[in-house]
Every structure is written in structure tokens, then in C-alpha cells.
Structure 1
Amino acid sequence: MTPGLLIAAPASGSGKTTLALGLARALTRDGLRVQPFKSGPDYIDPAFHTAATGRASVNLDSWAMGPGRLSALAGAGADADLVLAEASMGLFDGVARPGETGNGASADIAARFGWPVLLVLDISGQAQSAAAVAAGFAAFDPRISLAGVVLNKVASPRHEALARVGMEAAGIAVLGALPRAPDLALPERHLGLVQAGETGDLEARLGALADFVAAHADLQAIRAGAAGTLPEDGAAPVTPPGQRIALARDAAFSFAYPHLVQGWRAAGAELLPFSPLADEAPPEAADSCWLPGGYPELHAGRLAAATRFRDGLRRFAETRAVHGECGGYMAMGAALIDAEGTAHEMAGLLGLVTSFAKRRMHLGYRLATLDRPMPGHGAGARLRGHEFHYARVIEQPDPPLARVEDATGAAVPETGSARGRATGTFFHLIAEAEA
């Protein structure tokens, strides 16, 4: 049995990632096998988890994943000493209508595997009142238990002492008190953290976070608070989009969910990575091509100048399937207009024209029913995914790929599109729907 903890908070920006990475690296450095997970639809944090622990981190999502898939993915930690799962947003934040096994709240994941919650509290501007917040979280959902709290952004010893008085009165254990440390913050941009692979001093940053958490948290008490169990087995079949998949992989195309890539390999598929930014065409040995999301808007000029990539992608699509998600979808279109209003020619497999000149955020779960086939899924398949981008659609002349709705059941105008063997969607696929 592998015990675990879910590191959660009342809201985003409270310090979950700081604690999760510092704790994961500190315990790994002490010789523990730490299995990380990320609750919810985040494709950036798992790479940081993997770097901190040396073990692959995957997403666990109660809205998009059925019970068997959750069990199979969580089972990756069966040989670990400790599971550390990082929550998304606030602990109980989810959508109004349930999906496969819950509403997407991180509390669903804690409850399913019996992982107590290690609650991170940003106590800026409060002291004893923080205990009322913690007590409310401890009592709100009878399915979960609170291992204790870690106080964050502590201003002084007096501030910490007052907060501890409140927690003691509420019967809540304080397992750490982290002082304000703005120098430890990881760099960010418009879709979240700058990716792990682009953070050149990542090892130094992880070491500093580990030192910081080890100095200000009780690692032994935190380990003692872990509980729960992992399933011994579970079914999580994933249909790959081909037998030999040309997978775009560089700074512009990196948002591929780890569990999907692992699932393709487990199903026997071979991945053939290539870099559009290096002006590489999809490998000829591949029988399908997959362009993940990422940051094409930050590299639009280079992509427009990458003629070998664009010509090779067009030739590839004459005989084999090409699919793009979000940024990959935009790169398959006719043009991408950057934040300065300059239009850049893209591959032209689809007529899509997108613009970042006037940004608009699109965010949320998506349930798509395919009107046309896409790699790995036939017409009529129901797919669960998540959309998060700031692009505006200027033109979308091709037939829609799917009927898409949000988590409330409302129709979404971003339907994806299809032309010949080329397909694309704005949402990132998480799993085929079961319910």
C-alpha cells in the first residue's frame, strides 16, 4: 500500500506548486520514491513534478476520466514510498454538472484514493482568522480528511505565532510555516508557468525550493499524515492515432498530456518526434501526424519561415492523417495573426485564421461528438477534453469536425474543422467519454 497526500489550497496562487515541488524534491533527495500526480487539466505542472522526483507525473481528472482509467493511472505509484498529488485551483472548485466520476474538483481525487489533504494557506493580511478558513475546509466535505496546514507568506515570527494560536484552538495541526520568498517564484507567462524544458536553471531552482521547504516544514510530520491506498490494477485502454506517430515536439508544440503519450506507447505505437521550429518535416516512416498545442503565437515568424516543415506537412497530408490540437490546430490553418497584428502564413491544410491581436480567453471542459473521423477515433465518438487559449477565430471556412459543448451542456462555437485528411480542434483531448 502506498500512502498519499493531496496538496491543495482555497484558491489558485496560494503556493501549492511551491510546496509540491519543494516537498517532492526534498523527500526524493532524502531517498524516498515519490510518485507525483496532477489533479485536473494541466499540461505544464507534470513536467516540473517529473523533474523534481525523477518519476513521470500524469493527470488525474474526475470530470474527464472514468473509474478504470483513474485507477490504472494512479496505479503507477504502487511501487513508490509516497504519493504527492497537486490540486488545481481551489480544493472544491469544479464544474456544475458531473462528468465521468465527479465534477473535476481535486476533492474528488482525494476522496477516491483516500489521500488526506495538506492545505496550503496564504495568510497574508490575516492571523487567527486563517483557522476559520482551515476549519471550514476540514468540515465542508465528509469524504475528505485534513492532514494539516502549511502556512504560506508568513510575515514575521509574531505573525506565525498568532496564526498558530488560531489553528491550535481549532484543533488543526500546523505542519509548516513558509516565510515570504518572492525570489523563489518560478517564471510565468500567459498560459501559466514557463515550461520546465525552457527553465534553464531548473535544477538550481528545485534545489532552492527543497531547501526552503525542508527548513520551514516538518517533513516527518507531513509523511506521517499520508494515508490511503492505490488500486492494484485498472483498465485504461487508449487508442493511438496511428502505429507510427509523427509527434511535433519543441518549444512551440509541447502541450501533450503525459497519460496519452504513455497510453499510445502502451498500445504498441511508436513515436517519431520532429521539430517544426527546426524546420523539420514529419518523418516519412510515420503513418499519422499529431501537432500538440503550445505557443505557436510566440514563434509565428519562425514557423512562417519554416518552409521544409510546411511543405513536408502538406505532402504528408496528401496520403496520411494530420491532427492538431489548439496551437497545433492554429499552425495547420491559413494564417496566424500575432499580438502586434502581423499575419504569418501557416501550413494551409485548413482555412482557419486566428488572431492574438485582440486576445480573448477561452477556458473550460469540452465534450465533443465527432461528425467526422479523426486519428484514433471514428465519427460518432464522444471525446472529453479541455480548452485554454487566448486566440480569436477570424475565419473558419471548413466543415466542423464535431458538435462541442461545455460542461453545462451549452453549445460551443469552436467546433474544430476538417478538410481532407486534416483535422483539428481547439480542445486538448483527455479521454474518450464513457458516461
Structure 2
Amino acid sequence: MKGFLIAAPRSGGGKTTVALGLMRALRQRGLRVGAVKNGPDYIDSAFHGAATGRPSFNLDSWAMDDALVAGLAATAAEDADLLIAEGAMGLFDGAPGEQARNGSSATLAKKLGLPVVLVLDVSGQAQTAAAVAHGCATFDADVKLAGVILNKVGGERHVRLAASALETVGLPVFGALPRDAKIVLPERHLGLVQAADTSDLEAKLDALAGFVATHVDLDALHAAARPLCSSPSRKNALEPPGQKIAVARDAAFSFLYPHLLLGWRRAGAEICFFSPLQDEPPPGDADFCWLPGGYPELHARRLANARKFLDGLRAFASKKPVHGECGGYMALGEFLVDAEGVRHPMAGLLSVSTSFAKRKLTLGYRNATLVTDGALGPRGKILLGHEFHHATIETLGDDPAFALACDAHGGEKKPVGSRRGRVTGSFFHVISAE
């Protein structure tokens, strides 16, 4: 089993476009393509699944130990002919501290033994692209660059200038993608629109595949793949919080890491999905209810009017545990203020009220310690996760904290989230537990 990792010197350089185009183009050639995403971005992995027809998993060396990373990589590569990993941010960008646990794309490439294919946005430069690529190739001797794909080239002359300079530093060019405003994926306030919400997704992926196949030497790229270092380990990221777990799933609640569901099922738990937007309550025979993140702020009026869902959730919470992450946390609170400033009543199971009218980007890893025993673990249990949202807390209320947390930079842990009775919630998404 062989593979490679698609990376770039910076965010916005074209990694996702190239990765999705390659996944679909190689699949169209008859290859079984596995996919993984470096880091906590749960949106890209859903696009991977659409492009390859197989589940894609997030691999995060900051939040996951080596056994979990290797085991999930092996699962993604199972019965596949090729594994394509998509990087995050710039190749060496990651959290502070120990390099082996910094979450960078370079660290993942080393752990999995994958060569790096560097996507270089050469708009506004030519030969200088070789200096950038050479720096990436030599910054860490253990990171092996297989070659380069030029992106946003202006014409044949532009390609010749950049490619000839790259040849002098010993880096092959697998292809050159011209500027094309039509080859883009739509965006929303939290980044890409989710795969399930992208209109004509199959046609868009086919267009990406055709674009990449026309301008990239797929045979040379496939030949550059190297054997994957993986492990059959089936370690769980987070133990199942119940034997039968009710999970909200629809356009308002969709951000749940696939590796969590995989681990729960492997441990023997049953997953049952329900849709709050369809006014469905959590199944009464479930042991635990999980409200994932998503876009409740876009559906606040509909959620506020979903009486069967809200009444059923309250009845469930009176007897059994409920946990909400990010958007799920917002839905468990007293009120949610939408972008227009309209206040919508939510479940009222926690005292917090949140606002999308007053926005502030919050982004980063979280190291959280549970402050009391609960379905997610005993008091003192450490959860590692990630926070990414624009919503803010309007009023926190008087509920005690769910956990004490700090970011990847460390420092004193501070109260986060809320808990009341059997109900807990916070803005951070759990990736794994220590």
C-alpha cells in the first residue's frame, strides 16, 4: 500500500482543489483511492469521501497518539490501491512544543512515511518558486519532497521559468495548473460549504478531476508514491458514552468526526441518527444523546419551532445524559441570536445564551480536564479537541463549567462550557481522550 501527502507552503495555495481533483481522477482510472486529512478540519474529509467513495478520516498528531494515527491510516488504506493525504495550512505549520505532537502536515508525513507533493501557487512569481520549494525540501531532512505541482500559472513562458528553476534544485514538476475561476468550491462563513450542501457536487468533482488530469502527469505522480507506515491498531479515540447513542444529524448538526463513530461501532455501540430539523426527538431507548456542531444559527427559527424535538430532548435529558458540541452546545442553551439579531428560544437545558449577531473568530486546539464524573469520562479525564466558531456567548448563566481547558500554548486552565444535571456542553469538538 503506497501513498503521498499533498501540502503547500501556506493556506489557500490550492491543496484542496488538487487533492480532490487527484482523488477523483485516479478513481476514474479504476484505482481504489483512500483518503485522510491532516488536522482537525472535519469539512474536507467529507469532500474526500464524496470524491473517493470511501470514508476519510482526520489524523491529528497533536490530539492523537501514534497508535491511533497509524490505526486510522490503516483503516483508510484498507483494500485501497493508493492513499492520498491532504495537509493543513503550511507544510511545517503546527502547534508549539514537541515536534512529534505538533499537528503539522510534515509531522504526519514522517509518521506515515509518505513523500510530500508540494502545491506551489506561483501567481506573482516565477523562479522564486524554486527557492520556496527548496526551503521546504531542506528544512527537515526527514521530510521527503517527491516533487511539485505548480498552481495558477499564467502561460507556457511562466511554466518554463518556474520549472527550469525547480530543475536546478532537483525537484520534478508533476504538472502546472492554469488560473481558472470556474474551478473553485463555494465558501460559507466557516469555510467551505459542506459536501452534503454543495449543489451538483458530483459534477463539480468531475470537473476538478478533468482539470487536474489534463494538466498533471498522473502516471508520474502515482509512481512517486511510497509505502505507507501504518498499523492494524484499533485503539478508540473516545470510549462510547453509551451502548445505544442517539446522534443528531442534518444540515444544522453535522460536524462529528468519522473516527469517533468508527470507534464506537467497533466497541459494540449502536448509533441511531435523528433529525432535529425534521422535528424528530432523540429515540427514547437510547442511552445517550449527542448533539454535534454544525450550523444551528442558520436554522434557528426552524429549531425553535421544532416542538417534538425540543420536548423530546428535555424528556430525554431528565433521565439520561446529553452532550452538545459547538452548535449542539448553542442548541442546548436558553437562546440563540441569529445573524439578524433575532433571539430564538432553544432547549433551555443549559443557562448559556449565544449569539451569531456578535461574531468573533475563535480557533485553536483545546486540552480540557473534566471537572466531574460524566458520560464522557470520570473527573480528571483529559479530552483533546479543537474549537472553531464565530458565535459568541451572550450570557453564560450560572451553570458550573463542563471542563477546565487551555490551548496548545499551555498556561493555566480556565473554565469552559456548561453542565447541569445530566446535560453538558462546550464549544470545543472532542478529537480524542488521553
Shorter-chain TM-score range: over 0.9
Question: Are residues 423 and 278 of structure 1, via their aligned partners in 2, closer, same or farther at CA, if it must alter by over 3 Å?
Answer: same
Give the TM-score normalised by structure 1: 0.97
Q: Secondary structure in 2 aligned to 1:44? A: helix
How many Å apart are 1:98 and its aligned residue?
3.4
CA contact (8 A) 1:75 1:233 kept: yes
Cα distance in 2 for partners of 1:289, 1:339 equals 27
2:379 corresponding residue in structure 1: 379
Q: Deviations over 1:325-384 (max 9, x none)?
A: 000001000001112111110000000111111210110000000002332312110010
CA contact (8 A) 1:244 1:272 kept: yes
Identity level (%): 59
Cα distance in 1 for partners of 2:125, 2:304 equals 51
1:150 corresponding residue in structure 2: 149
1:258 corresponding residue in structure 2: 258
Counting only pairs closer than 5 Å after superposition, residues 25-40 of structure 1 correspond to structure 2 as: 25-40=24-39
2:361 corresponding residue in structure 1: 361
Cα distance in 1 for partners of 2:413, 2:8 equals 30
State the AA in 2 paired with 1:430. Answer: I
CA contact (8 A) 1:26 1:214 kept: yes
Cα distance in 1 for partners of 2:312, 2:294 equals 20
1:216 corresponding residue in structure 2: 215
2:402 corresponding residue in structure 1: 401
CA contact (8 A) 2:402 2:415 kept: no
Q: Deviations over 1:204-253 (max 9, x none)?
A: 00100100000000001101111132324224124111111110000010
Counting only pairs closer than 5 Å after superposition, residues 53-68 of structure 1 correspond to structure 2 as: 53-68=52-67
Q: Secondary structure in 1 aligned to 2:182? A: helix
CA contact (8 A) 1:363 1:388 kept: yes
Counting only pairs closer than 5 Å after superposition, residues 67-78 of structure 1 correspond to structure 2 as: 67-76=66-75, 77-78=77-78
Q: Deviations over 1:298-344 (max 9, x none)?
A: 11111111111111100000000000000000100000111211111
Cα distance in 2 for partners of 1:376, 1:208 equals 43
After alignment, is 403-412 or 124-133 more displaced?
403-412
After alignment, is 362-371 or 387-396 more displaced?
387-396
2:420 corresponding residue in structure 1: 419
Q: Is 1:410 paired with 2:421? A: no
2:4 corresponding residue in structure 1: 5
2:137 corresponding residue in structure 1: 138
1:282 corresponding residue in structure 2: 282
Cα distance in 2 for partners of 1:411, 1:344 equals 35
Q: Secondary structure in 2 aligned to 1:162? A: helix
After alignment, is 13-22 or 411-420 more displaced?
411-420
Q: Secondary structure in 2 aligned to 1:212? A: helix
Cα distance in 2 for partners of 1:348, 1:181 equals 48
Q: Secondary structure in 1 aligned to 2:311? A: helix
CA contact (8 A) 2:325 2:428 kept: yes
CA contact (8 A) 1:14 1:122 kept: yes
State the AA in 1 paired with 2:148. Answer: V
How many Å apart are 1:414 and its aligned residue?
5.9
* Structure 2: runs of 5+ lacking an equivalent: none
CA contact (8 A) 1:63 1:98 kept: no
CA contact (8 A) 1:72 1:233 kept: yes
CA contact (8 A) 2:67 2:231 kept: no
After alignment, is 168-177 or 246-255 more displaced?
168-177
How many Å apart are 1:146 and its aligned residue?
0.5
How many Å apart are 1:79 and its aligned residue?
2.5
1:268 corresponding residue in structure 2: 268
How many Å apart are 1:411 and its aligned residue?
4.1
Cα distance in 1 for partners of 2:154, 2:161 equals 11
CA contact (8 A) 2:403 2:415 kept: no
Cα distance in 1 for partners of 2:165, 2:374 equals 56
Cα distance in 1 for partners of 2:346, 2:82 equals 46
How many Å apart are 1:175 and its aligned residue?
0.3
How many Å apart are 1:58 and its aligned residue?
0.2
1:428 corresponding residue in structure 2: 429
CA contact (8 A) 1:402 1:416 kept: yes
State the AA in 2 paired with 1:403. Answer: L
How many Å apart are 1:412 and its aligned residue?
6.0
CA contact (8 A) 1:242 1:376 kept: no
Cα distance in 1 for partners of 2:192, 2:25 equals 21
Cα distance in 1 for partners of 2:135, 2:78 equals 32
Q: Is 1:175 paired with 2:174? A: yes
CA contact (8 A) 1:24 1:34 kept: yes
State the AA in 1 paired with 2:366. Answer: R
Cα distance in 2 for partners of 1:401, 1:231 equals 35
1:18 corresponding residue in structure 2: 17
CA contact (8 A) 1:414 1:426 kept: no
Q: Deviations over 1:40-83 (max 9, x none)?
A: 00110111101111111001100000111111101111432111
Question: Are residues 300 and 98 of structure 1, via their aligned partners in 2, closer, same or farther at CA, if it must alter by over 3 Å?
Answer: farther
State the AA in 1 paired with 2:432. Answer: A
How many Å apart are 1:97 and its aligned residue?
2.0
Q: Secondary structure in 1 aligned to 2:372? A: coil
2:161 corresponding residue in structure 1: 162
Cα distance in 1 for partners of 2:219, 2:87 equals 22
Q: Secondary structure in 2 aligned to 1:319? A: coil
State the AA in 2 paired with 1:65. Answer: M
* Structure 1: runs of 5+ lacking an equivalent: none
After alignment, is 162-171 or 28-37 more displaced?
162-171
How many Å apart are 1:197 and its aligned residue?
0.5
Cα distance in 1 for partners of 2:94, 2:411 equals 16
Cα distance in 2 for partners of 1:385, 1:232 equals 23
Cα distance in 2 for partners of 1:293, 1:92 equals 28
